[in-house]
Structure 1
């Protein structure tokens, strides 16, 4: 019986991946590097240490990745503040339904606590969640299952009573490894076959997730 829904944040609830990509393009260009969409897709869902490794492999060990990430986050924060936080279609409807029907909810993301709190507040969705767990609160990030197992612990549910909503392959693998059902709503990248086979379903948007829950197909 489904009792809890675990939400990823970037690319799943917040339409942030394209903004992030644009920020990396700008900052990499300043340093004489070209950020391609193909390379950016290899970063999706990875913990911060994995992102560092990818950049150093691509652009060299002297690439100032910490500084670049700070500038990209500042670029995003400025856009979100001036233009608002772009949420994915169907998100508000899904969150309202879950709250009204007493499902437990939590955000499980690789982003740090400060960034998560600011984004959820600015998007006006913080009140829909019972809790959140962030990248700086786990010892191993996705694709390790720790963040999802801790989410279940925080909510007081077992893995078979939970559902993970993810857009990335790393997130899919983390949920699968935690033995939690996972639905993928692809953002910039459709999952490869091996990851697609780990999902309970792959749908176009969060409205489809709401339909599945209402129809008791989960």
Structure 2
């Protein structure tokens, strides 16, 4: 990979940059509990990182619900907004330090998330990170959600960099697949050590990453 160099770092959001994944699990669980169901662990792993509308479609199909998927998604997003307001939004360990390092090194940064853009903005504003990213691309800005590469390609385009020069930081298998489909280098960061699943590097925390490590992926 000697023809490649680090041009930008693209961050997933939920479960990677901010510790909001448990809140997404709670909102899904509440939506299903209202209909007499429990959030299935296997399904949860399958849809992690996907667009909320795709998740709603999976719910309707898997549980045999009568709901319109769009209405089900909106119900869940309303719950999600309430959880953000009541529970607060916290950064993942090492997130703020790594972003600060990248800012100081002058390496372009973007957020590329499976969440709607409005919720991405809510999270970044809560942590005073809005100015630390040149752009934030939500799932509603692209045609296809992860594992399709669209959101990462849109972020690279917005930054004016080549996909091959991007490192993606992801915690979900669908996100890793999306990064690889975009011809980007991927680092999987998952607390549970869920395996690299094709990622070029796997870590259990952003605390284990720094600018030197990310640049070293291109040598």
Q: TM-score, normalised by structure 1?
A: 0.88
Name stretches of at least 5 consecutive residues in structure 2 with no aligned partner: none
CA RMSD in angstroms comes to 2.0
Counterpart mapping for 1:17-28 below 5 A: 17-28=21-32
Find the aligned partners of 1:142 and 1:103 in 2 and give their Cα distance. Answer: 24
Counterpart mapping for 1:82-93 below 5 A: 82-93=86-97
Partner residue in 2 for 1:141: 145
Q: Does 1:200 find its partner at 2:204?
A: no
Counterpart mapping for 1:70-149 below 5 A: 70-149=74-153
Find the aligned partners of 2:77 and 2:168 in 1 and give their Cα distance. Answer: 25
Following TM superposition, by how much is the alpha carbon of 1:128 offset from its aligned partner in structure 2, in angstroms? 0.8
What SS does the corresponding residue of 1:26 show, helix, strand or coil? helix
Partner residue in 1 for 2:212: 214
Following TM superposition, by how much is the alpha carbon of 1:197 offset from its aligned partner in structure 2, in angstroms? 4.6
Following TM superposition, by how much is the alpha carbon of 1:26 offset from its aligned partner in structure 2, in angstroms? 2.3
Are 2:10 and 2:111, in contact at CA under 8 Å, matched by a contact in 1?
A: yes
Find the aligned partners of 1:18 and 1:82 in 2 and give their Cα distance. Answer: 14
Q: Does 1:165 find its partner at 2:135?
A: no
Q: Report Cα offsets for 1:156-203 as digits up to 9, x if no partner.
A: 111221100011111111111111000001256714xxxx35211010
What number of residue pairs does the alignment pair up?
Answer: 212
Q: Does 1:176 find its partner at 2:170?
A: no
Q: Choose 68-77 or 155-164, whichever is displaced more.
A: 68-77
